[in-house]
Amino acid sequence: MSGSFYGLEPSGLYASGVSVGDLEGDARSAATGFLTSISEAEGAVHHPVVAGALSSYHGTWSSKANNLPVEVSNTGARISNAATTGVQYDNQAADPLRSSLQQQQAQSPFLQRPINAGG
């Protein structure tokens, strides 16, 4: 990708998206560690109210924690796609200007004449 739009470097933005997406494994480890810690704490406490609270907490956060790696991957993909989309629309917006410039350059020889001609 080349060029920049709105002060952003598309290649850097795209690479950042890839880097974020690459954190999916780390997010999976963090989510697994989080849920494992809650489960282990639930088994370690001897008070039924605390064990019930931990069980409820685990139930509340389990699906969200398990979804974290997917969300990290999706976020990275969206960042990279934003760079690609920006370049595509930047190029699309520049096409009419390129066409006009080409027409102007094609007509330029016909419009030129010596400054001191005839006189």
Question: Is it the case that residue 51 has pLDDT exceeding 90?
Answer: yes
Mean pLDDT of the chain: 86
Alpha helices in the chain (DSSP H): 10-21, 24-44, 48-111
The confidence score (pLDDT) of residue 74 equals 97
Question: Is it the case that residue 38 has pLDDT exceeding 80?
Answer: yes
Q: For 99-109, what is each residue's pLDDT tens digit? A: 777 777 766 66
* pTM for this entry: 0.69
What is the DSSP code string of 72-106? HHHHHHHHHHHHHHHHHHHHHHHHHHHHHHHHHHH
The domain spans of the chain are 10-108
What is d(CA 51, CA 112) in angstroms, rounded to the nearest whole number? 89
List beta partners, residue 12: none
The stretch 66-80 carries a mean pLDDT of 97
Question: Is it the case that residue 35 has pLDDT exceeding 90?
Answer: yes
Cβ(81)–Cβ(14) below 8 Å: no
- The set of residues, in sequence order, having a beta carbon less than 8 Å from that of 83 and lying 6+ positions away, is 1, 8, 10, 11, 13, 14, 17
